[in-house]
A and B are shown apart, each in its own frame.
Chain A
Amino acid sequence: EPEVTQTPSHQVTQMGQEVILRCVPISNHLYFYWYRQILGQKVEFLVSFYNNEISEKSEIFDDQFSVERPDGSNFTLKIRSTKLEDSAMYFCASSGGQANTEAFFGQGTRLTVV
């Protein structure tokens, strides 16, 4: 069964450092997403990406964040200068081209900023 894969599973970084979280969406999907979940809280939308550009973003997705699809398979989230409050689980998801179809989530990357 096709799945969304994320690497690494756990990333520890020092405050102020840049991190790149990587995702391989399901191969025939057209929409890609990043969500985050702070420990014990609900899942929050960050950004959606379609046709090589951002289609939606939330207030959380400020200038410290960027996304990229560097090749035909990877989708990355970069945080330029991490803050303590960026510590969370980051989930990548993808969905097909039709409207109102379910998004499939990866297993997440746990980011710990120290």
Chain B
Amino acid sequence: GESVGLHLPTLSVQEGDNSIINCAYSNSASDYFIWYKQESGKGPQFIIDIRSNMDKRQGQRVTVLLNKTVKHLSLQIAATQPGDSAVYFCAENRAGRRALTFGSGTRLQVQP
């Protein structure tokens, strides 16, 4: 069935290292993708988005890569900091729809 899912439930990195969080999606009609960060007890916080006509987009310390051939999305966080510790969700929507479909989340733990 249609799904957006994450490969790893927990990722542990050392402070200062780069982090890579992966996400797979199954619907080729998906045309807009977002990464959200969720800290404990809070709502999802927008990090970065990418449209399907792009394969890379950079923000401050974050980069999102989109590989439409294999339906794969990744979030790269440079120089990971303790404040980056959270659950990260990928989400997608499809042309003509507003509803976001969320993946199951990856917990990022940053070790000092």
Q: Encode contact with B along A74-114: 1 for CB under 8 Å, 0 otherwise.
A: 00000000000000000101010000101111111000000
Are B46's CB and A102's CB within 8 A? yes
Q: Contact: B103 with A42, CB < 8 Å?
A: yes
Contact across chains for A56 and B98 when beta carbons are under 8 A apart: yes
Q: A42-B89, A100-B51 are in contact. Are A48 and B43 (CB under 8 A)?
A: no
The total of chain B residues at the interface (CB under 8 A) is 24
Interface SS majority for chain B: strand
**A104 & B100 in contact (Cβ 8 Å cutoff):** no
Question: When the two chains form their complex, are residues B43 and A105 in contact, meaning their CB atoms are under 8 A apart?
Answer: yes
Given contact pairs A100-B32, A100-B51, A102-B49, A44 touches B43 in the complex (Cβ within 8 A): no
Give B96-111 as 1s and 0s: 1 = Cβ < 8 Å from A's Cβ atoms. Answer: 0111111111000000
> What are the 8 closest A-B residue pairs judged by CB atoms, nearest first?
A105-B43, A100-B32, A43-B102, A45-B99, A102-B46, A105-B44, A48-B98, A42-B104
List residues of A whose CB falls within 8 A of some B CB. 4, 31, 33, 35, 41-45, 48, 50, 55-56, 58, 91, 93, 95, 100, 102-108
